[in-house]
Structure 1
């Protein structure tokens, strides 16, 4: 196992370099870069680097901009150097986990990402917790009652939730409970109230939970189907195996058969997929839900960075999330062995 882990860690290096290299090359050919957008703002009298950094009005070349000023702008963003020089300097910085400085946020990429993570972690953490708390018991119940009316009704319910986009369900929740049409039960935006700092400890917890009800509900409903059906099918497959039939023939109670024998084997794909599900839930971000509920998280940051051509944030966040994704996949593989010691990677040729 140790050799397998070391081999996987070594393979992460070329994978990271490949992802960053491909993205860097693509950014060199994307029109309307940060230099062009700043020059557009100068021609239109906008403040460079402000919130209007998306470059409204389009790029029309460098006409009307002092050449000396244009060179200063290029130097400010580092575009006065050849692409290869900038590329190798970037790799050198990434080797020490220095992700650079954002063009528009006037702080390090690490600082920008850290400021957005609380929102994404909130949505991701609660989404994964609620998904597993609801879907695993529901999937077990569906497997035990396979083919019954309960199985049919719950299948229709979770598949309906899967079919409805999260942002559409979010709009419906706002109309019903956010004061849009009927009841003003929950707040429409933000993770906390304006007077959050003045509240007591219990008041802060209640205020936080009060604010996350609608966005978390909108984000989690579509996730029930996958885990529920996976749990059901896994349990059905294990229930039909010979060792289960033998245990039943010996008179072992059904509850003991399910939770002492079936659960250990059926839980393997669920437990090993948990790290990836958690990381994916809060790193991917949900732009539409964040926008709908006025939450400033990773989804909004990713969108704004691409639109503004904030290349350090685009490249730095991609590097960081790729690294986390690779480590998560490695953790999932290790979980296979921890859950089922019969699995040996060196024997399977992995």
Structure 2
């Protein structure tokens, strides 16, 4: 097992390097980089006394801009160096876990991620816990009562929730309960109220839960189907195996057969994905949900960084999330040993 772990750790290095290399190369051919955007803003401010005119503020390349000024802008953003030199300089920074500094926010990428992380953690962790707490018992109950009206009705409901996009459901919830055309039981923006610091501990908890209810509901309802149906199918598969028939022949009750024999084996495919899902929940960023409910999280940060060509944020967050993804994949594979001791990596 230790040889397997060492091999997987060594394979992470070329994988991580390849992801960063491909992304960096693609970025070099994307038009409208930070230098071009600054030049376009300068040209726009030069029209009509500081405001862009309807036609005069359009981007005209580097026409009318002093070449020395262009070189100064390039130097500020580090584009005065050749691409290979910038790439290896970036790799050296990443090796020291220095993710760079944002062009747009003038902050370190680490500081930006820490600043946006609470919103994404709130969405991801609540969604994760509700999905697992409801889907697994529901899947077991569906397997036990397979073919019944309850099984058919619950399957229809979870598949309907899976078919409706989360942002559409979010709009419906806002219209119904967020001050739309009906009632305003919940706030429609922000993670906490503006006077949150002045509230008591109980008031803060209540205010936070009040704000997070609608966005978490929108994300949760569409996430039940996969885990629920996977649990149901796993339990059904185990129920029809020979060892279950043997346990019943020995006189064990259905409850003992289900919980002592079927339950553990059926949850192997569910529990092996649990570590990756749990760690991934900390970094879940939903752009549409965050935009809809005015939540400033990692999803909105990633989208804004791509649109505004904030390359340090794009590459730094990609490096961090890829590294986390590689480690969680390794943890998921090692979880097989904990759930099923019969697994051998050789």
Same fold (TM over 0.5): yes
Per the TM alignment, residue 276 of structure 1 is displaced from its structure 2 partner at its CA by 2.2
- Hey, what does 1:49 align to over in structure 2? none
Q: Counterparts of 1:290 and 1:279 in 2: how far apart (Å)? A: 20
- Hey, what does 1:142 align to over in structure 2? 142
Alignment of 1:6 onto 2:30: no
- Cα deviation per residue 1:124-145 (whole Å; 9 max; x = unaligned)? 1001100001000000000000
Q: Counterparts of 2:332 and 2:63 in 1: how far apart (Å)? A: 54
Q: Counterparts of 2:11 and 2:245 in 1: how far apart (Å)? A: 44
- Hey, what does 1:197 align to over in structure 2? 197
- Hey, what does 2:130 align to over in structure 1? 130
Q: Counterparts of 2:274 and 2:135 in 1: how far apart (Å)? A: 13
Q: Counterparts of 2:263 and 2:227 in 1: how far apart (Å)? A: 15
Q: What is the 5 A alignment of 1:31-110?
A: 31-45=31-45, 59-110=59-110
Which secondary structure does the structure 1 equivalent of 2:184 belong to?
A: coil
- Hey, what does 1:221 align to over in structure 2? 221
Which secondary structure does the structure 1 equivalent of 2:31 belong to?
A: coil
TM-score by length of 2: 0.95
- Hey, what does 1:114 align to over in structure 2? 114
Q: Counterparts of 1:305 and 1:292 in 2: how far apart (Å)? A: 18
Per the TM alignment, residue 248 of structure 1 is displaced from its structure 2 partner at its CA by 1.2
Per the TM alignment, residue 281 of structure 1 is displaced from its structure 2 partner at its CA by 4.1
Which secondary structure does the structure 2 equivalent of 1:103 belong to?
A: coil
Q: Is the 8 A contact 1:139 1:231 kept in 2?
A: yes
Q: Counterparts of 1:216 and 1:206 in 2: how far apart (Å)? A: 15
Q: Counterparts of 1:136 and 1:250 in 2: how far apart (Å)? A: 28
Q: Is the 8 A contact 1:287 1:303 kept in 2?
A: yes
Per the TM alignment, residue 58 of structure 1 is displaced from its structure 2 partner at its CA by 5.7
Q: Counterparts of 2:209 and 2:163 in 1: how far apart (Å)? A: 27
Which secondary structure does the structure 2 equivalent of 1:283 belong to?
A: coil
Structure 1 unpaired stretches of 5+: 47-51
- Cα deviation per residue 1:161-204 (whole Å; 9 max; x = unaligned)? 00000000000000111011111101101110011000111111
Q: Is the 8 A contact 1:178 1:187 kept in 2?
A: yes
- Hey, what does 1:231 align to over in structure 2? 231
Q: Is the 8 A contact 2:231 2:270 kept in 1?
A: yes
- Hey, what does 1:326 align to over in structure 2? 326
Which secondary structure does the structure 1 equivalent of 2:223 belong to?
A: helix
- Hey, what does 2:317 align to over in structure 1? 317
Q: Counterparts of 1:190 and 1:268 in 2: how far apart (Å)? A: 38
Q: Counterparts of 1:189 and 1:58 in 2: how far apart (Å)? A: 34
RMSD in angstroms over aligned alpha carbons?
1.4
TM-score by length of 1: 0.94
Q: 1:149 to 1:320 in 2, by over 3 A?
A: same
Which secondary structure does the structure 2 equivalent of 1:222 belong to?
A: coil
Q: What is the 5 A alignment of 1:136-285?
A: 136-285=136-285
Q: Is the 8 A contact 2:123 2:284 kept in 1?
A: no
Which secondary structure does the structure 2 equivalent of 1:322 belong to?
A: helix
Q: Is the 8 A contact 1:272 1:335 kept in 2?
A: yes
Q: Counterparts of 1:192 and 1:225 in 2: how far apart (Å)? A: 30
Per the TM alignment, residue 239 of structure 1 is displaced from its structure 2 partner at its CA by 0.5
Q: Is the 8 A contact 1:32 1:59 kept in 2?
A: no
Q: Is the 8 A contact 2:99 2:109 kept in 1?
A: yes
- Hey, what does 1:302 align to over in structure 2? 302
- Cα deviation per residue 1:51-89 (whole Å; 9 max; x = unaligned)? x9xxxx664211121211111110000000000100110
Per the TM alignment, residue 109 of structure 1 is displaced from its structure 2 partner at its CA by 0.7
Structure 2 unpaired stretches of 5+: 47-51
User: Hey, which bits of structure 1, 4+ residues long, moved more than 4 A?
Assistant: none
